[in-house]
């Protein structure tokens, strides 16, 4: 489970204000708190891939309301609430858009390359695992663009392992 200070996709739930009409929003029949922390009780929602934080004095049995902090991650938080609402209403789920399909593929390759290197694989062996032996053998290794790509995958994978993965929890936004 992620910390709310790191992952803007965590849904904060609290008791629904008494001045709003009563509706059936209890989550007790679908989810139970899995872990307690100083900020409340956490659970994962496997049907939509989200993490929920029940704020203090809130339980899955309560009528619920979402709290959306207004900060630099507001759009990420709204996107998470939209995915949560689709799951709640039993509508087709939208995909988490923080990473594209191509970014996910590169992420896996980077981690595989870093893992291989940390376990003693040469850059050539890593390139063969990623691109195949025939493609790697088709050009001189020392000047090969595949060699440069394998080195870049390893370096990027190590950067991810060293904490760079936290950037993946947020959408990239233009300033």
Q: What is the pLDDT of residues 9-49, one digit of tens each?
A: 899 999 989 898 887 765 655 665 578 888 998 888 777 77
Average pLDDT, rounded, for the chain:
85
Between 67 and 1, residue with greater pLDDT: 67
Residue 21 contacts residue 67 (beta carbons within 8 Å): no
**Sheet (strand 11-15) strand order:** 35-37, 40-45, 50-54, 11-15, 64-67
Residue 13 contacts residue 58 (beta carbons within 8 Å): yes
Q: Given this model, what pLDDT does residue 31 score?
A: 62
- Residue range 61-66: mean pLDDT, rounded: 88
């Amino acid at each position: 489970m992620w910390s709310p200070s790191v992952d803007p996709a965590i849904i904060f739930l609290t008791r629904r204000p008494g001045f709003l009409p009563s509706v059936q929003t209890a989550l007790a029949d679908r989810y139970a708190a899995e872990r307690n922390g100083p900020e409340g009780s956490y659970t994962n929602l496997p049907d939509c891939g989200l993490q929920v934080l029940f704020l203090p004095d809130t339980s899955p049995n309560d009528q619920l309301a979402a709290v959306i902090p207004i900060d630099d991650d507001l759009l990420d938080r709204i996107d998470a609430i939209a995915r949560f609402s689709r799951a709640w209403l039993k509508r087709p789920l939208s995909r988490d858009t923080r990473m594209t399909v191509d970014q996910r593929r590169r992420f896996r390759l980077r981690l595989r390359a870093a893992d291989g290197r940390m376990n003693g694989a040469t850059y050539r062996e890593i390139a063969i695992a990623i691109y195949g032996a025939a493609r790697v053998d088709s050009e001189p290794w020392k000047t090969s663009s595949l060699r440069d790509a394998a080195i870049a995958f390893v370096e990027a994978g190590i950067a991810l392992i060293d904490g760079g993965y936290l950037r993946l929890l947020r959408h990239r936004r233009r300033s």
